[in-house]
Amino acid sequence: MSSAALPVEQFTKKKALIVMAIITAVLAGLSSMGHAGIVFAILAGLMLTGMPISISLGLTVLAFLFFFSNVPTEAVALKLFTGIEKFEIMAIPFFILAGNFLTHGGVAKRMIAFATALVGHFRGGLALGGIVACALFAAVSGSSPATVVAIGSILLPAMVKQGYPMKFGVGVIGTAGGLGILIPPSIVMVIYAVSVNESIGRLFIAGIIPGLLLALTLMGVTWVVAKKRNYPRQPKASIGEVFRTFRESFWGLFLIVVVIGGIYSGLFTPTEAAAMSAVYAFIVAVFIYKDLGFKDMPKVLLSAASMSSMLLYIITNAVLFSFLLTSEQVPQNLTAWMIGLGLTSVTFLIFVNVLLLAAGNFMEPSSVLLITAPLLFPVAMEMGIDPIHLGVLMTVNMEIGMITPPVGLNLYVASGISRLGLTETTKACAPWILVMILYLMLITYVPAISLWLPNLLYGG
């Protein structure tokens, strides 16, 4: 769980004094700065105290509005409600609930069996099967940490038993788990789409080819390493075995058709597809696979409610922060400043990648997107960068952030499963992180990878 979920009660009197000192320093010494500088100085100061990002955003808005702005408080209150009542935001808790049902409902182990039957006979077969299983589970869960937990908790012990080094397995699964936020349905993509008013369905379709290409890239690197180190392979599965494992995993895999097929065909909106996926996942886990009983429902529902409330609280405060930036003309001024510097789309995208990779080291993806997307979006539009391409680009950056210290959530999840220390886990993931950075460059400067399929299906 990210620091955003920490309760307010954990703040000590010492931290409260630090917060007040920071605000006082800003008021006394930073009044000569532009309003944008004051806003981000307050935000950075509050975050440096260890305060959760959601509370930092809210306090930044309140402090600035009270001392520096003439925006009516009624307008702020109205924005607080209108910003969070968007129908599309309802997709987030539904996808989280569906992911929880699938994580606890026996879907992962059936997907692993099917994936291993497909590719297990290649050198490093269990690792390759893990990447395929991560891609399949990503396509039904929408969550990166859930993918690492579901696949890693089953596959890592099996890999060690077969003679693979634990560090190799952790590197593969920890990195491949990032596919959970790139291959649709993706909670991170929903957050981006909501923050910039873009089409969730179009963004989901745009993530398919980049997600599959990244999975193939990771598989290629894994195979080369496994062949060089002579890691074991599985006996080749018969056609009957492949068909049997497919049949057993079919009901989980069919959720991909329900979500993506339903959205593209127009049968569901993305929010309705999220609700359908939650209901479908419940039926599969409880009544078809029967790995989840009614006695397990409170734990699953509470876990989903906890994660959903955390994200929605962040979104609520981020909406206020975005409103503050807009009212102070920060995005417009940033656009004019960057164009005045003579930045081209190429150099701007380099700036975006550096900014997001740095931010991803210290904040979880939803917070980074909610803060940076409203700022970067107007500049990108002015430079002719497609908003869907920008969304995929930002998602890949967030994917890398999930496996980089000090706050990469996938690192902590993989460390917990493997019992390796955080430093060892980071070293284990390092070669694949380098591969993902090279892949990021490809996605950045070849927009057709992201745009070809949505343009083909939706026109454009």
Residues 301, 311: Cα–Cα separation, whole Å? 15
Of the ranges 88-97, 417-426, 449-458, the best mean pLDDT one: 449-458
Cβ(440)–Cβ(353) under 8 Å? yes
pLDDT at residue 16 in the model: 47
19 vs 411, higher pLDDT: 411
- Percent of the chain scored above 90 by pLDDT? 38
For residue 417, pLDDT over 50 is answered with yes
pLDDT at residue 18 in the model: 52
Q: Which two tokens stand for residue 220?
A: 């290629």
- Of 226, 100, 230, 173, the closest CA to residue 420 belongs to 173
- Which pLDDT tens digit goes with each residue over 230-278? 999 989 999 999 999 999 999 999 998 888 888 888 888 888 999 999 9
- Percent of the chain scored above 70 by pLDDT? 92
User: Domain coordinates of the chain in residue numbers?
Assistant: 87-306
Burial (CB < 10 A; 0-12, 13-18, 19+), residue 406, is exposed
For residue 1, pLDDT over 70 is answered with no
pLDDT at residue 385 in the model: 93
- Which pLDDT tens digit goes with each residue over 17-71? 454 454 444 444 444 446 667 777 788 788 777 777 778 888 888 888 777 777 7
Cβ(103)–Cβ(148) under 8 Å? no
pLDDT at residue 57 in the model: 81
DSSP-derived secondary structure letter, 150: H
**3-state secondary structure (DSSP) of residue 362:** coil
404 vs 13, higher pLDDT: 404
Alpha helix positions (H), 163-207: 166-176, 187-196, 200-206
DSSP-derived secondary structure letter, 105: T
Q: Which two tokens stand for residue 194?
A: 């909501």
Among 33-47, 230-244, 377-391, 423-437, the range scoring the smallest mean pLDDT is 33-47
- Which pLDDT tens digit goes with each residue over 178-236? 898 899 888 899 999 988 889 899 999 999 999 999 999 999 999 999 999 999 998 99
pLDDT at residue 307 in the model: 84
Per-residue pLDDT averaged across 319-336, rounded?
77
- Of 114, 157, 121, the closest CA to residue 137 belongs to 114
17-24 contact pairs (CB < 8 A, 24+):
18/49, 19/45, 19/46, 19/49, 19/51, 19/59, 22/46, 22/48, 22/49, 23/63
- Which pLDDT tens digit goes with each residue over 103-150? 888 888 899 999 999 999 999 999 999 999 999 999 888 888 888 988
Residues 86, 61: Cα–Cα separation, whole Å? 21
pLDDT at residue 280 in the model: 93
Per-residue pLDDT averaged across 288-307, rounded?
89
For residue 279, pLDDT over 90 is answered with yes
Residues 140, 36: Cα–Cα separation, whole Å? 40
Residue bearing tokens 């909670």:
187
How far is CA 88 from each of CA 6, 47, 187, 279, 335, rounded to the nearest angstrom? 26, 29, 11, 18, 28
CA 77 from chain centre, in angstroms, equals 29
Residues 335, 352: Cα–Cα separation, whole Å? 13
Residues 201, 335: Cα–Cα separation, whole Å? 28
- Which pLDDT tens digit goes with each residue over 139-184? 888 888 888 988 988 899 999 998 899 999 999 999 999 898 899 8
Residues 347, 344: Cα–Cα separation, whole Å? 5
Of the ranges 86-90, 157-161, 291-295, 443-447, the best mean pLDDT one: 443-447
pLDDT confidence tier of residue 460, bands split at 50, 70 and 90: low
pLDDT at residue 131 in the model: 95
pLDDT at residue 24 in the model: 46
Q: Give the Cβ contact number of residue 11 at 10 Å.
A: 17
Share the mean pLDDT of the chain.
Answer: 84
Cβ(3)–Cβ(53) under 8 Å? yes
Instruction: List % helix, strand, coil for the chain (3-state, nearest 5).
Output: 80, 0, 20
* Contacts of residue 398, Cβ cutoff 8 Å, sequence gap at least 6: 181, 188, 356, 360, 365, 368, 369
